[in-house]
Chain A
Amino acid sequence: MLKDFFSKKKHASKPSEEAKQDIPEGLMLKCSSCGKIYYREEMRKQLYVCQKCGHHHQLPSDERINSLFDEGSFLEYDTNLETGNPLEFPSYSQKLEKDQLKTELKEAVVTGEGTINGFRTAFAVMDSRFRMASMGSVVGEKIARALEKAREENIPFIIFTASGGARMQEGALSLMQMAKTSAAVQRFRDAGGLMISVMTNPTYGGVSASFASLGDYNFAEPGALIGFAGRRVVEETIREKLPEDFQTAEFLLEHGQLDAVINRHDMKKYLTTILDIHQAGGNVS
């Protein structure tokens, strides 16, 4: 849905050889933006950023964690939270099971703590491979708990967001996770905690309109699509063709909605600098 539009986006390209195009699928990945073919392993090493066009592809949560946190420092929180089917919504349980098998994740967010170049920090990483990282009870609960933990431990909180929006199959319980997580941010802030939000592609709806927008610093990865309402809904509502770059990170930056757009390869260094400036905990006391 979002990809067609996204693929039109071009970025400065680094020179790279254009070979290996006749190798079987599976081993290979094709950049959805410029069409360049990569060995999967090569792409993985590049954190799924196309070397030719700079397109940032989806990064699995475990690989993002490995790319940021010092080796052996990662401690996962709340590994046992499981989603139920509170509204007994048709085929919801099967959909969850399917994504659990596909991703080897229990839900769409991984929370925990670790050190980034020695700075201890709590974090949450959303994974859009799981139900488009829509926000159900478990997602909301894990994020709220991680914020509470960061508050108690007096350490910063960094969140990498991605989400298609609400988890419709959980109805208003999904909606209320916006309130729960935002209230948790309020408590964390009130205690002087430092929160950094990094929005990745895509960050929409209830996630965009709650914790994702509530960092002391709000960043995004290049080209990430971010918004409250989806492009199609907006176009249908106002009956107007939207600009090509509508709702991209760069568009939001231009409209004053972001602090900066940060390349994935620079992320660790960038976050380290912020953590260093705020020193341990980010508390002024």
Chain B
Amino acid sequence: MRQVLEFEKPVIALREKIAELKKFTTDSDLDLSEEIVKLETRLEKLENDIYTNLKPWDRVQMARHADRPTTLDYIEHLFTDFLEFHGDRYYGDDAAIVAGIAKYKGQPVTVVGHQRGKSTKENIRRNFGMPHPEGFRKAARHMQQAAKFGRPIICFIDTKGAFPGRAAEERGQSEAIARNLMEMAGFEVPIICIVIGEGGSGGALALGVGDRLLMLENSTFSVISPEGAASILWKDGGKAKEAAEKLKITAQDLKELGVIDNIIPEVRGGAHRDLASQAELVDRAITDNLAQLEKMDKQVLLEKRWEKYSNIGAYTE
């Protein structure tokens, strides 16, 4: 069953009504086409109103939508010859991160991304897309290899955050994240990072240091979950909606703050509505950015990457 978000209930209701009338038309002799056209016009206007005025909290819901395309969905649509490889060579294989090699329009690339499940069973297997240190270390291993063989790196970001568990702490969650941040700053190949769903804190950023940081229109990227911020700041997890606004976690806000480079538009109603069309929009962004980055000399690439991150922040002097 499809998950229905609060703000899109009127749209869904109207769409169901239209479907009903259409079915009625085919099943009976009554011609309701005039009525249907009227309703379809109304639907379009309603969709326009709703989806062009999404509030931060609406986008949080969208980013968390159970049917929202995941890393593996995009991999299937964007790459050929994808081979997934496993393990960090120290401790284990973390299913919350997928990594491997593939071809992008004939060109070899390394692909890394957080992977959550769409069903409860799959989510449990993948720990809801929340990595342990071995996940980050697996990612690092593949990115090191990409640098060695001169392959561009494409990262998909989609996590609530690094897993806050006992084992994760014992095995050095902090060190694993820190090392990724540091090493990604220095790989001499183009790195494109795309936030496709939720980008939660350090666990998201651990796949987010590159030449381009892009966000899907309805994805979020935040230092802490709105619920977490609300409970710490106001001792009231129920104020998450307010926190979502104050924290500036939408693609639009983050573009303005200079945190991200660009926004990838979403199909109307959100990426989950039409994966194939959404993948095309992501495809275009990767093609354009990769073309720009591949023209650069290695030293220029690294220098620009450093400039980009060193310029983020707000202070006076």
Q: How many residues of A contact B (CB 8 A)?
A: 60
Is B171 part of the contact surface with A, judged by Cβ < 8 Å? yes
CB-CB < 8 A to A173: which residues of B?
257, 259, 312-314
Q: Is the CB of B310 within 8 A of A183?
A: yes
Q: Which of B93-109 contact A (CB under 8 A)?
A: none
CB contact under 8 A between A84 and B316, given known A175-B205, A183-B209, A233-B164: yes
Contact pattern, B 162-204, Cβ under 8 Å of A = 1, otherwise 0: 1111101111111101110111011000000000000001100
| B residues neighboring A (CB under 8 Å) | 162-166, 168-175, 177-179, 181-183, 185-186, 201-202, 205-206, 208-209, 221-224, 229, 232-233, 246-249, 254, 257, 259, 305-306, 309-310, 312-317
CA distance A84 to B162 in the complex (A): 29
User: A213–B164 contact, CB under 8 A?
Assistant: no
Partner of A190, one of B186, B224, B246, B310: B186
**Would A172 and B164 count as touching, CB distance under 8 A?**
no
- Which of chain A's residues 55-108 have a Cβ closer than 8 Å to chain B? 78, 80-84, 86-87, 89-90
Q: Is the CB of A176 within 8 A of B222?
A: no
In addition to A180-B310, A229-B165, 13 A-B residue pairs with Cβ atoms within 8 Å of each other are A84-B315, A86-B257, A89-B246, A168-B233, A172-B247, A172-B249, A175-B222, A179-B208, A183-B209, A209-B202, A210-B178, A227-B173, A228-B169
Q: Are B178 and A137 in contact (CB under 8 A)?
A: no
A31 to chain B, nearest CB (A): 27
> CB distance A182 to B178 under 8 Å?
yes
Q: Which residue of A lies closest to B209 (CB)?
A: A179
Contacting residues, chain A, for B224 (C-beta < 8 A) = 166, 168
Question: Which residues A223-274 have CB closer than 8 A to chain B?
Answer: 226-229, 233-234, 237-238, 240, 242, 246-247, 255-257
A177 to B315, CA, bound (A): 12
Note all chain B residues with C-beta closer than 8 A to A257.
172, 175
Given the complex, which residues of A lie within 8 Å of B317, measured CB to CB? 78, 80-82
**Which among A83, A170, A176 has the greatest number of chain B C-beta atoms within 10 A?**
A176
Which residues from chain A contact B247 at a C-beta distance below 8 Å?
Answer: 87, 168, 171-172
Most buried by B among A80, A175, A246: A175
User: How far does the Cβ of B204 sit from chain A's closest Cβ, in whole Å?
Assistant: 8
Nearest CB in chain A: distance from B235 CB, A? 13
